[in-house]
Amino acid sequence: MSKLELTNETVEVVRKELAFQGHFRVTRYFFRHGLHQGGQSDIISREVFERGQAGAVLPYDPGRDEVVLIRQFRAGAYVAGHHPFTWETVAGIIEDGETAEAMVRREAVEESGLTITDIWPIQNIMLTPGACSEACRIFLGRANTENAGGIFGLEAEGENIFVKVLPFSEAFAMVERNEVDNAVTVVALQWLALRRDEVRRRWS
């Protein structure tokens, strides 16, 4: 399949300034970009929420055909009018000098008590590209779910995480019932729905 040719998709950063610095940072950028019909745009300003780059892993036991989801309070979901506790994959922010793979293995232990053995890359997605610089590298992680479950998280970081083992069929049914509204988790479960037979063959 040939790659779609797109021309004049250039961007120039004219200047930037700090708009807010708290637990997270907001930077105000001034851009000029190429126009699809040719030429350049006027200078536009956009505030960008910057919190680093993220990674996520969906723990999966191919022998038991089970996944592990976590559930915790999310302020953004509450403010948006969604249920304040959301079903999610294990996830976190990649630290300086750390690979995404190393981070999700670390977070799997902290957030779910699970050791991830094999890693299968799923996708690298932008979460809110119009307003946030964060991208998330999503993985499937092989894990033993036999004794999984319980309450995890780092108390020092205010984490209180409920860990639940689910048959894949039930987890995917939750997506279809719109009970999972975390985008990364939906992507991971839908990807596994398409590739599950292949994953189970390779990880048998």
Residue positions annotated with a catalytic role: 157
Query: How many residues make up the chain in this entry?
Result: 204
Distance CA 165, CA 67 (A): 6
Distance CA 109, CA 160 (A): 14
Per DSSP, the three-state class of 116 is coil
CA 102 to chain centre: 15
Treating both helix axes as pointing N-terminal to C-terminal, what angle do 183-202 and 168-176 enclose, rounded to 10 degrees?
150
Q: What is the DSSP letter of 132?
A: B
